Amino acid sequence: MKIGIIAHLKHPIRKPFMGGLEAFTYDITNLLAKRGHDVTLFASEHSDPNLPLRSIMSDSDYDRETFSRFRSHELSEDFISTHHAYLELMQDIDNEGFDIIFNNSLNYVPITMSSIVQTPMVTVLHTPPIFEMKRAISKIKSYTNMKYVSVSASNAKSWQPYLPSCEVINNGIDLKRWNFQKENDRDYVLWFGRIHPDKGTHHAIEGALKAGKRIKIAGSVADRHYFETYVQPLSCDRVEFLDLCTHAQLNELIGNAEVSIITPCWDEPFGLVVAESLACGTPIAGFSRGALPYIITEKTGCLTSSMNSEELAQCILSASKLSRKDCRESAEHSLGMEKMVASYEDLFHRVIDKSYLPHAI
């Protein structure tokens, strides 16, 4: 198949990844190409040049220190630039001869413009309903060349008012890149990801300290105010901040952790950190929000439905007793990228062949 992949433009698609969406786009682009497909990735300028990249937006204003394109007083310029980049792409995309357009943009323009595009499209819902996307979907829902798919059952449920029967393909990771650590030092717990209010870093620290555990924090500061107000004041000799890590460093950190703490403060649609931790054999303790209760079982983790640090501490202690072998087996059964990519290939063929019922999506 000849596949055009539309990326999110908030960050370049390159390592180290700013979030799960960038990692998803990078991995699935590479895997589809390796499986023999003719792939073009439409992304921003400083994305990995080893990808089959077609730049549609300049990264000259992208600040690698603040991870943003424009200063706060110029946010409207960011919106306009992104709008124009997608608008120009969608006006010409039929000329590319794609069999399928694979939209991962989180933007309303590709959805709205699909009403004048002849090439079949698949749009992945990586987030819960956001205003611009749900409005666009509502306006063109009867368009027969569009198919929507959610990255988790919990996220599909949140979209039900707008898409009553959205198909689900769980996100996955390349299991071969995450080494299973059968035994480890088990002398610390780990929180990894972007340090941001949505990720609840301070909750993880509070829970770990109340459980009597040493905790390592691996990730970049995505919200400086949050870090200085809620996270940094919890610093002590049992809290270690590691900043961004390479893949090899992160693999070792996860594999040698007693427990991974995952504390979403919103209904996160998936969270690749869950799959990455389980692949390393490390059980999960965290908040029962978003996709976590759909992924974590009693064999692989312990979750609390509250945001109480005492309850989180008890989850950490319970999770530390779980089998690392069961965690790895769970990842192999349902969270592998090969399974995910095969599911998308099957979906692409069905959309191209128009073998699905468009009014049922």
Q: How far apart are CA 297 and CA 348, in angstroms?
A: 31
Do 300 and 283 share a domain, yes or no? yes
Do 58 and 197 share a domain, yes or no? no
Among candidate residues 170, 138, 141, the one with its CA nearest the CA of residue 154: 170
Mean pLDDT for 140-166 is: 86
Residue pair 14/48 in contact (Cβ under 8 Å)? The answer is yes
Q: How many domains does the chain have?
A: 2
pLDDT score recorded for residue 359: 42
Mean pLDDT for 156-161 is: 92
Q: How far apart are CA 6 and CA 174, in angstroms?
A: 21
Do 165 and 193 share a domain, yes or no? no
Mean pLDDT for 337-342 is: 93
Q: How far apart are CA 210 and CA 315, in angstroms?
A: 11
pLDDT score recorded for residue 68: 67
Q: Which domain holds residue 215?
A: 175-334
Do 238 and 131 share a domain, yes or no? no
Q: How many CB atoms lie within 10 A of CB 348?
A: 21
Q: How many helices (H) and strands (E) does the chain have?
A: 13, 13
State which amino acid sits at residue 178: W
Do 29 and 100 share a domain, yes or no? yes
Do 168 and 221 share a domain, yes or no? no
Do 187 and 96 share a domain, yes or no? no
pLDDT-wise least confident of 29-33, 82-86, 133-137, 320-324: 133-137
**Each residue of 102-112: pLDDT tens digit?**
999 999 999 99
81 pLDDT more than 90: no
Mean pLDDT for 346-352 is: 95
Mean pLDDT for 83-91 is: 94
pLDDT score recorded for residue 118: 92
| CATH number (domain holding residue 113) | 3.40.50.2000
Do 240 and 298 share a domain, yes or no? yes
**Each residue of 220-275: pLDDT tens digit?**
898 999 999 999 999 999 999 998 888 899 999 999 999 999 999 998 888 889 99
pLDDT score recorded for residue 13: 96
Do 142 and 242 share a domain, yes or no? no
Residue-wise over 333-346: b if at least 16 C-beta within 10 A, else e?
eebbbeebbebbbe
Beta-carbon contacts of residue 7 (< 8 Å; ≥ 6 apart): 13, 25, 41, 42, 43, 44, 47, 104, 105
Do 344 and 257 share a domain, yes or no? no
Do 132 and 63 share a domain, yes or no? yes
Do 32 and 99 share a domain, yes or no? yes
**Each residue of 195-221: pLDDT tens digit?**
999 999 999 999 999 999 999 999 989
